[in-house]
Structure 1
Amino acid sequence: MSFVDPNQFVITRRRKKYKFALFNNSPLCFEYDEWMPRSIDVLEVGAGTGLFSVELAARHPEQQFLAVDVKADRLQKGARAAEQRGLRNIWFVRARADQLGELCEAGSLSQLWVTFPDPFPRQRSSGRRLTHPHFLTQYAKLLDEGGELLLKHDDHNFFCWSLEQLVVAGWQLRGLTFDLHESERFDEESDARIMTTYEQRWVGEGKAIGFVGAGKSINRAS
């Protein structure tokens, strides 16, 4: 029988409290009910640490970015990086995916990134997947007329399931690849090639990364 040191739980709780304090003290971070909607061009849902959005914001200073995740202790890492780089075009909000409609105005986004969300492999949990039809309907309302939904994932089964949902819902698939970092369609300067925190791990383990861009169907946008 293995022995678990109770002091380890104390240390973990302290670390989480410290990270939450960093989130609460950052001028770039907001709780869902504190956020005042503003003009946003690009949103990342399920952003994790938010470092992917930070890199996008650094590349495109003319655009406004919003990174959304349910865990503040993750988002604070991206906020700290953004502050250190002097970025003033990105914010971080702790919120659920079903609250996105209250964070951004309808038809305001040019891009909406869904990066490595929980695949919820059990069929009975499919409604929680961020590419489930009810989320796709919400995304379509947030995107502008030429806007794109952009999906990256390492789980092949989840990625294929997501493609099926997009096709059934009438989205127009663009730039599809099942191995992003080996594809000749995307050069090193492509935004799609920027790696998230988790993506660096998966690529290091030799996993192929699926990527697709999708434009909403005009007939099913409302």
Structure 2
Amino acid sequence: MRQRHKPWADEFLLENNHLVIPSATEHRQNWQKVFGNDKPIHLEVGTGKGQFLIGMAKQYPEINFIGIEIAKSVIVSATEKVIDSGLDNILLLNEDASDLREIFGENEIAGLYLNFSDPWPKNRHEKRRLTYHSFLEQYEEILDQNGELIFKTDNRGLFEYSLVSFNNYGLKLEEVNLDLHAIDDETNVMTEYEEKFSSKGQVIYRCKARFESR
């Protein structure tokens, strides 16, 4: 969905640069220092309007959460929600996630979430899928020794592709769920898209994986 342009976005983000951290690459390997504590850090790539991130931060106050989102109008909405939540264990980045290794150091992230990523269904766009092997290389480097990758989507084609990609790369699949909402998982925090799709009866898929070398 196309987001409405917000001409005041730059000023708003500057006013809230304690939440939306500018010059993210300057903090590489020092994100715990930015939070001001030594709690583990979990990362959501493509955080959207922030519903999932806020829900997770409420549920797990012992964890710090970072959400990265390239769309400025969307990160503004997420920032407003974080402010309203009053939570102090969330930071946001208005950055391109094409190479996360420029922003995060080796073993710096304890958990990584890919929620309803763009499926890029055409074969010529395969390299843009966030579960393509070049992205998996990044995740392996920034995740710590016990770091978990959690992937959710409503797109069966992307889910099947991702399972093959994970397997070929050598990840250990700890969960493969073909109908997430059919199980009683009280810990599941829904994204905005997840609520929308599931309300229409669409199946939600989830996979949890770790790198075998870990």
- Shorter-chain TM-score bucket reads 0.7 to 0.9
| Aligned position for 1:208 | 203
How has the CA–CA distance of structure 1 residues 85 and 169 changed in structure 2, closer, same or farther, with 3 Å as cutoff?
A: same
Equivalent residues in 2 for 1:69-218 (5 A)? Answer: 69-184=69-184, 187-188=185-186, 190=187, 193-218=188-213
Structure 1 counterpart of 2:161, one-letter code: W
TM-score, normalisation: structure 2: 0.87
RMSD: 1.7
Aligned mate of 1:28, from 10, 19, 32: 19
Rounded Cα–Cα distance in structure 2 between residues aligned with 1:25 and 1:35:
19
The 8 Å contact of residues 175 and 207 in structure 2, kept in 1 or not, is answered as: yes
| Aligned partner of residue 56 in structure 1, secondary structure | helix
Rounded Cα–Cα distance in structure 2 between residues aligned with 1:120 and 1:32:
29
The 8 Å contact of residues 24 and 30 in structure 1, kept in 2 or not, is answered as: no
| Aligned position for 1:54 | 54
- Runs (5+) with no aligned partner, structure 2: 33-39
Rounded Cα–Cα distance in structure 1 between residues aligned with 2:21 and 2:41:
18
TM-score, normalisation: structure 1: 0.84
Report the CA distance between 1:97 and its aligned residue: 2.0
Q: Which has the larger radius of gyration?
A: 1
Rounded Cα–Cα distance in structure 2 between residues aligned with 1:122 and 1:217:
29
The 8 Å contact of residues 107 and 143 in structure 2, kept in 1 or not, is answered as: yes
Rounded Cα–Cα distance in structure 1 between residues aligned with 2:178 and 2:74:
28
Rounded Cα–Cα distance in structure 2 between residues aligned with 1:33 and 1:132:
24
Q: Which is richer in helix?
A: 1
Rounded Cα–Cα distance in structure 2 between residues aligned with 1:94 and 1:67:
9
Rounded Cα–Cα distance in structure 2 between residues aligned with 1:44 and 1:211:
15
